[in-house]
Every structure is written in structure tokens, then in C-alpha cells.
A and B are shown apart, each in its own frame.
Chain A
């Protein structure tokens, strides 16, 4: 195998050395450097793995994708993991999988309802609309920013067939309440775990409660591949759902051969599908109206290096969150600080703040103060998605009003807790908050 070629080793060693020289960060300078809300955190290992994939030059998913999927599936105790090119693609594939004819009477059909929240990222909602299903919105809590549990039970109607929600900002939604509703009404559950890789609820990893779970590896997320995402399936339908997910990802084809492979099932020319002639080439038999959402082995190689760092990344996110929580505690009379859902241990994505009514300043004023000090802030994604141009006219139902969601749209933002935030950056953030709040 040419991975033992001495020139290859030389190249890889040089790349690692280059990475150290090029990306070794100088000390933080508050008057010059941005304090990002998120970002890639890496070292020479990522560049080394990426270069390995380049030298393989297989390009499409190969040994690194296989390795990542195996490790990822094992981490969650899932029978399989399916890499896709983004977290949004993961959501699209997961929700679409539930519409597969292969599920028979259990499949979602146009007009069926899916419970979700409006305070989130658009691509949790978009696949519901794209599949001609009807989203049913419930409000969220201020402080935990997850669906109000009592509303979930109230929102179930005769056409409700599924729940698809995110563990917003890494904070698990009330999985006791949701799981009870899922069980009582025999619903499908998709956990959008894009913000929550490593979060636990009652000691169990989020992403293992639903029938399907989705993940994102965009640079803002817990680990990155640049672009990338993943789907896992769990429970009794896991094998079946996994096959459907893979088919939808890979053009909708029935065959599961990897790129460049033939007849791995040994039945390429001996089956009959649809009204095709018996023995029609299985590589070109399509059982779904699918997409091409695969990623490259280069991305997966970076992911393999990042995967080794995940425990450290999660610990750092929790530490940074705890630092900000403590630093801002004196100002809780004017700021709603984030709280973990009872029973959960979040691998926080960000530190969410809602400016209290009567605080004496607006969210925008506080954000401007921070941004002027080069501290990045972000809205809690879209705020109320129903107020965006794309979603104004979608068929939907709202259960119990969205007062908190609207309040988030007006008064909520977040700052980072990502592992790239070191002590000087955190101190700078805390000082900037103090500087603003002491004057008010």
C-alpha cells in the first residue's frame, strides 16, 4: 500500500510542521482580534488527514468516510451512520425518509402534521414544508429555548404523525415529555442534534431517543469537516430507515454499492424491480426520488481528526459556558441567562441571553456595544421563522400562541462558548458585558 511510501511520510510531516508554523495562534490582543462566536479549532492532525485523503485522491467517500461512520455509529450505539454534505441535508434526508413507500402505512403522506418549533434554524422546518407536510408550531421557554412540554401534548391532533425538533443551542428538549407523547400517539421522532453533539439527557446521549437523529459538521459546530453532516437511526426500524436514508442520499438508488464498486450484493443481475425486465442492472434501479448529498473523503478525513478531539471540545464548551454564567450572574435582574433542561447535561453550542422587559436597554444596544468591542454576537437563529418572507404563506397550525418565540425575535441573542475561546478572550467578553451593564 503506497501509504508507506517514504515520500508520502515526508509530505505529511512537512504539512504538520507547516500547520504548526502557519496556524499557531499569537496571544490575544483585545484591540485587534475578533472574539468569534464559533469557529474551527484544529491543529496539524486535521491537515495531515486531509493531505492523506488528497494523496489517496479517491475524492468521493472512501476509507476516511468509512472510518468516521463506523466510529460515529459506535459512539451512539447505532447500527449505522450515514454521512451527508451538511446538517441541513441530514434534516432533509431524515424527514424525507419517513415519506418512503418502503414504510407502507407508517409513511408520512402529504397533509400529515409534524410538531416543531418556530424559534430555530430554517432547515429544521424546511424539509417538513418541502415534503408537503404541515408543521404544527408550539412555543418555547425563555431561558432553555426548547419546546414547552405541556404544549407538545396539547398540539397533537388527528393528523399528527411526527415530531421534529432541535436540541436548541445544545440544550436537550424535554425528552421525558416528548418520548411519552411519541409513545402514546405512535409518532415518529426526529432529533435535530446539529447543535448538541455530546449532550446528554438523564445520562443518555441526545440523538439516541428518536427514530432518526441529525448532526452538522459546519465549522460553527462541535466538530467540523468544513461542510458535512450525518444521520443515524435507532430503534426497531433502524436498519430499514438506514437503508432508506442511504438511498435518498445516493440519488434514490436501490443499490448500496459505494462509488466505483460493482455487485457488492452479489445480485446485480438477478433481481426484478418495478416493471423493469428481470435482471436489469441493479446499479441503476431507483427506489426513491432522491438527491446526491454525499460528501468527499477529504471532508471525512478532517472529521476523523476532529473526532479524536471531541471529548476535549465538549469539556471546553461546558467550562466556557460555566465561566460566562458566573460572570453574568450579577446581572440576572436585567438578563435572562441560559439554563439547562432538568435532567440534562448540555454540550452547549452558545450562550443565549434574553434582555428582560424593563431592563432599561434594548437587545440591539447591548449587541452593538459588544460588536464594537469585536465580540461577535448572533440572533437565536431566525427568531420566529413564521415572520420570514419564505415562510409567511406556508400551510401550518399554531398551538397556544408563540408569545415567547416573538419575544426571542425581539430580545434574544447569543455569544460563543466554542473551544477556541481561551481565558483572555473570555475575560474580554465578561469585561465588555460589565462595562455596558454597570453604566445602565
Chain B
């Protein structure tokens, strides 16, 4: 993996998805170091002084693809002090600092394997870069990838249009969406919370699949426990979780 590099970035765009969920687009002063889909960055709002230590920061999955190193994209939902500051202080043109890449949450979509990506809310950002690359490969190499993505309501299923297009681009990729409320017939969104039972029944060989979990801690804990109870060994339960 590349050595993480600290980059001064300018906020180039903020998309407000409602319900205090945002997409943040950053323009780094230098191209970002090489990274792998699924890796994350540390974002600092306060200035970084190279003679001092790295300021207070929070981690976010890089949602933009690895070949797009002159622009970075992250998703965030306002859930605590740091993200409240982001919401209150960041505007287009604001200067922030990012350091990346970090993490080893890398989806392995190998021939003969099935990968189940279970995403809740902004946790989908850990998968978007991978899914873009996977769909771009096209064809059928014997791998199978199935995204199960849940949000509070259909409007918060970020990237839904993109993900649907990606699934159409490669027959080995499927995407199933869940909304806790507001799902209407014909939207392609299943009503209710993302559940392991739903994912299990949709997979070809659920007992042999590898599961990748990204989302709120409670979701990860719950799904992780259910997977363990169904006999999935720890090495096939990959979790994008931080202390």
C-alpha cells in the first residue's frame, strides 16, 4: 500500500441529500497517492501545521474511484461532534486537510466466489469505488457480487441510479435496495430494514459467500452476530469498522 500522504484540499462541492446526509467533494492540491477501492481517508477541519501533529480528524471511506486522484469524494451523515462541525463550518471553497490511504477493506471478487456487500446508510461509500471498477470490467469471470443496501427512506439510497446502472452493465453484479419507510411499488426498493434473511435467500450459495459489512455500528454488530450464528467463519466476515 502507498504511504499515506497529507494533502491540503479545497471543498469543491457539497451535495445535501436531506436528513443531514451530505456528499463532500474535495480538490487536493496534489494528486492523491494511489489507493485501493475500499480504503479510507482521515479528514481534518482544523489547519495542519507540518511542525506539529495531525489535528483532530475523522475517517471516511473514499467513495470516488482510485483512478480519479485529482478529486476525492466522501459521504457523511451528521451523527456526532465532528460531523456537526463539518455541517456547520464547511462551505464550497473551505480548506481542509486529508491524509490517505488507509485500511484493508478490499473486496475480493475472484472467479468461483460470491461476495455479499451489506451496506447501511452512508456505509455504501466503502463499496462505490469497488463497484465502479467491477462493473467496468464487464463479462462473466465466474465471480458473483451482490450489493444489499438499506437506508431510512428511498431518498437516502445514495447512488441508487448509479448502482442500478452498474448492475445492468455487468450480469454478475446485482443490487437490492431496502428502505425502512416510504418504499412504493415499482421503485425497485424492498420495504423494510436490510436483513440477513433477505440477503441469504437472494444469494446463490450463501453458506459459502464472503460477507462485507459497512454501515452503522449497530447494524454491523447485529449482522455479524447473525452470520456467526449461521456458521460463517470469521475470515469470511469482513467488517469496515473503526474503534
Q: State the A residues within 8 Å of B (CB).
A: 1-3, 55-58, 62-63, 65-67, 69-70, 73-74, 79-82, 239, 242-243, 246, 256, 258, 260-261, 263-270
Contacts and interface: CB of A to CB of B under 8 A. Distances in A.
Contacts of A267: 241-243
A70 B49 contact: no
A385 to B, nearest CB: 33
Interface in B1-58: 1-6, 30-31, 33-34, 36, 40, 42, 47-51, 53-54
Contacts of B99: 264
B54 A265 contact: no
A2 B52 CA distance: 10
A233 to B, nearest CB: 10
Given A80-B34, A239-B36, A73 B2 contact: yes
A73 B4 CA distance: 12
B6 A63 contact: yes
B243 A239 contact: no
Contacts of A62: 50
Contact of A73 (B33, B40, B48): B33
A288 to B, nearest CB: 16
Contact of B3 (A81, A265, A269): A81
Nearest to A269: B243
A1 B3 contact: no
A69 B3 contact: yes
Contact of A82 (B3, B241, B243): B3
Contacts of A55: 51
A347 to B, nearest CB: 24
A242 B53 CA distance: 25
Given A1-B50, A73-B33, A266-B243, A80 B103 contact: no
Given A69-B2, A243-B1, A267-B243, A63 B50 contact: yes
B102 interface: yes
B5 A66 contact: yes
Contact of A70 (B2, B40, B53, B241): B2
Interface centre among B3, B51, B242, B243 (most CB of A within 10 A): B3
A264 B102 contact: yes
A380 B4 CA distance: 39
What are the nearest 10 A-B pairs in CB distance? Answer: A266-B242, A66-B5, A80-B2, A56-B51, A69-B3, A63-B50, A56-B50, A70-B33, A70-B5, A260-B53
A58 B52 CA distance: 7
B59 interface: yes
B4 A258 contact: yes
A263 B5 contact: no
Interface string B204-241: 00000000000000000000000000000000000001
5 contacts: A56-B50, A80-B3, A239-B36, A261-B53, A270-B243
Interface centre among B1, B4, B50 (most CB of A within 10 A): B50
A113 to B, nearest CB: 30
Given A63-B6, A239-B36, A80 B1 contact: yes
